Amino acid sequence: MQKDDERLVHSRGEEFLQVFKKGAEFTQELLRENERLRFRLLELEKSQGPGDATPVAEVKRLSERIADLEQEKQEILDRIRHVEEENQDFAARYLEIEDENNNLANLYIASYQLHSTLDFKEVLQIITEIIINLIGAEEFAIMLLDEKSDELQAVSTEGIDRSEIPSFRLGKGIIGTVAESGENHFASDFDNYERDFSAPMVCIPLKIKEHVIGVLAIYKLLMQKKEFAAVDYELFTLLAGHAATAIFSSRLYSDSERKLSTIQGFIDLLTK
Amino acid sequence: MSDYNVLIVEDSPTMRQLIAFALKRIRGVRIVEANDGVDGLKKLSSERFDLILTDINMPIMDGLKLVSLVRNDANYKAIPIVVITTEGAQEDRERALALGANDYITKPIQPTKILDVAKNLLRIV
């Protein structure tokens, strides 16, 4: 019995020694492998050179580059947005200048035509054409002030019979007030305006500097002209100035021609 | 040598100038003016035109008669015609288009509108 126990202890001891030996061998193998890997790592590091980054550093570097590019992209997008806004501003400004250019051209042609003749009837005809073609009025009257009687009388009409327009005293009613004050008159509600010869839709004084020689009274616009544009108000004033000068010059010329003819007749009578 | 020959038929010299001034912004355009329909036909017979702009109300021969005569003449029927008039009613427009006008512009004159219509009919991009 005791011998059996000793044999068992001995065999256990043997087994333990075997396991311990194997463990020692395995540990030595691991140490060798570790040494081999360290050596390999050193070799790899040497072959990459001192400037090359490790994969972690490379990832970091690339991430930073991506962030830089993202920022650059954002800056470019901001600049594009800014340029587009500027472009829209320029486009709007271009249209404004185009409109201004067109208005100046129209005004140039109108004034050129007005000052191209000294014939009173022709001047009235040109004013009529300008009011229809540029302003878009269908019914209107050109009224001149008789400085002796202080009365305004229609000398030319469009869309209305001249005999229908009564004469107006200076300072009386809308027409008389416009002629006296030299201020433009525009009806407050164009849509509901009803024709009234004493209260035109629009009344513009024909002025040479501050001297009013008559008025332009508008009673109806062309059916396609629903309202006045902002530029029309400026056009009115500018055209009225040119129209007044043209009317004044042509009347002066007609008067001097008449006087010349009378004097000539008188001279002929005396000399022949 | 001009690229486009345009005929303006209009009895009012002011209107003719206004239209001509607007059209002169097209590069290479040459403008010929006529006082009425008869004068317009006379000018049509002497040279080739790429576009006609005509008023309706004119003495001697009105614009609608001119449109109808141009459309019924094999030599001119392909020329685009634009009617410019004070008549803003839809029936006037339809009448002019039915007679063969290609477009219809109402007064008061808007140079940009004239320019757009002319460029479109002259096929200028």
Residues B122 and B22: their CA atoms lie apart, in Å, by 15
- CB within 8 Å: B108 and A126: no
Least Cα separation, residue A109 to chain B (angstroms): 7
- CB within 8 Å: A106 and B112: no
Q: Which among A99, A109, A135 has CB closest to B18?
A: A109
DSSP class of residue B59 equals S
The CATH architecture that domain A131-260 belongs to is: 2-Layer Sandwich (3.30)
Residues A244 and A254: their CA atoms lie apart, in Å, by 15
The CATH number of whichever domain residue B63 belongs to comes to 3.40.50.2300
Interface membership of A229 toward B (CB under 8 Å):
no
Instruction: Please state, for a pLDDT cut of 70, what percent of chain B lies above it.
Output: 99
Residue (of B62, B67, B16) closest to B37 by Cα position = B62
What sign results for the dihedral spanned by CA atoms A71, A74, A76, A79? negative
Residues A208 and A193: their CA atoms lie apart, in Å, by 30
B contacts of A112 (beta carbons < 8 Å): 17
- CB within 8 Å: A132 and B14: no
Tell me if the bond preceding B108 is cis, omega within 30° of 0. yes
Question: So what's the pLDDT on residue A43?
Answer: 87
Q: Which among A106, A112, A132 has CB closest to B107?
A: A132
CB B15 within 8 A of CB B63: no
The residues in A 101-120 lying below 8 A from B, measured between CB atoms, are: 102, 105-106, 109-110, 112-113
Least Cα separation, residue B72 to chain A (angstroms): 30
- CB within 8 Å: A133 and B88: no
Q: How far is CA A173 from the centre of its chain?
A: 40
Structure tokens at A98: 């185009």
Q: Which among A110, A129, A222 has CB closest to B88?
A: A222
Residue type, A44: L
Query: Could you list the residue range(s) of the whole structural domain that residue B108 is in?
Result: 4-121
Average pLDDT along chain B:
92
CB B96 within 8 A of CB B67: yes
User: How many folded domains does chain B comprise?
Assistant: 1
Q: Which among A102, A134, A223 has CB closest to B88?
A: A223
Q: Which among B13, B89, B110 has CB closest to A113?
A: B13
Burial A223-246 (b: 16+ CB within 10 A, else e): eebeebeeebeebbeebbbbbbbb
Question: So what's the pLDDT on residue A188?
Answer: 85
Domain ranges of chain A: 2-112, 131-260
Q: What is the pLDDT along chain A (272 residues), one digit of tens a residue?
A: 677 888 888 888 888 888 888 888 989 999 999 999 999 988 887 877 655 556 788 889 999 999 999 999 999 999 999 999 999 999 999 998 988 888 888 889 999 999 999 999 999 999 999 999 988 999 999 999 998 899 999 999 999 999 999 999 999 999 999 999 999 999 988 888 889 999 999 999 999 988 999 999 999 999 888 888 777 888 888 888 999 999 999 989 988 888 998 999 889 888 87
Q: Ranked by mean pLDDT, which of A11-15, B10-14, B51-55 comes out on top?
A: B51-55
Question: So what's the pLDDT on residue B70?
Answer: 94
Residue type, A240: A
CB A123 within 8 A of CB A114: yes
Say what the ipTM of the complex is: 0.86
pLDDT one-digit tens code per residue, B75-123: 998 999 999 988 888 888 898 999 999 999 999 988 899 999 999 999 9
Question: So what's the pLDDT on residue B5?
Answer: 95
- CB within 8 Å: B107 and A112: no
- CB within 8 Å: B14 and A225: no
Could you give the strand order of the β-sheet that contains B4-9, starting from the edge strand earlier in sequence? B29-34, B4-9, B51-55, B81-85, B103-106
Residues B109 and B26: their CA atoms lie apart, in Å, by 17
Instruction: Please state, for a pLDDT cut of 90, what percent of chain B lies above it.
Output: 73
Q: Which among A102, A105, A132 has CB closest to B86?
A: A132
DSSP bridge pairs for A142: A156, A216
Interface membership of A94 toward B (CB under 8 Å):
no
Least Cα separation, residue A84 to chain B (angstroms): 23
DSSP class of residue B80 equals -
B contacts of A222 (beta carbons < 8 Å): 86, 88, 106-108
- Write the secondary structure of chain A as one string of H (helix), E (strand) and C (coil): CHHHHHHHHHHHHHHHHHHHHHHHHHHHHHHHHHHHHHHHHHHHHHHHCCCCCCHHHHHHHHHHHHHHHHHHHHHHHHHHHHHHHHHHHHHHHHHHHHHHHHHHHHHHHHHHHHCCCCCHHHHHHHHHHHHHHHHCEEEEEEEEEECCCCEEEEEEEECCCHHHCCCEECCCHHHHHHHHHCCCEECCCCCCCCCCCCCCCEEEEEEECCEEEEEEEEEEECCCCCCCCHHHHHHHHHHHHHHHHHHHHHHHHHHHHHHHHHHHHHHHHHHC
